[in-house]
Amino acid sequence: MVTLIAEARVFRPQLRAAFVINRRVVGTVIGREARAALADQPFAALHTEVSQRIVFADSVAAGRLACEAAPKSAAAREIAALAQAVREMLR
């Protein structure tokens, strides 16, 4: 993906990209080390992370967004924070 984005920037230099840590399993070594693993990559990782949560699977099964299925859940807050981080990156 990094190579594809680098190639695309030849034609669209204004193209922005960032990593999103997604499906992070809280309390695991790999969950803690994910950000460090991205440190040497050419794109930054957004500070916002999305954890692996049951509400995501439940909302897909119900055909709804996590914020619709469980509007006050941690999952809904994480998705709202991710949307805000993307908006800020695009400014």
pLDDT digits (tens, 9 = 90+) for 64-87: 999 999 999 999 999 999 999 999
Residue 57: CB atoms within 10 A of its CB come to 11
Reduced to 3 states (helix: H, G, I; strand: E, B; else coil), residue 44 is coil
Total count of domains within the chain: 1
Q: pTM of this prediction?
A: 0.86
The answer to whether 50 touches 19, Cβ cutoff 8 Å, is no
What backbone torsions phi and psi does residue 21 show, to the nearest 5 degrees? -80, 115
In a domain, 2, yes or no: no
In a domain, 75, yes or no: yes
In a domain, 1, yes or no: no
In a domain, 26, yes or no: yes
User: Which 8-state DSSP code applies to residue 39?
Assistant: T
pLDDT digits (tens, 9 = 90+) for 4-57: 999 999 999 999 999 999 999 988 898 889 999 999 999 999 999 999 999 999
* Domain of residue 47, residue span: 16-89
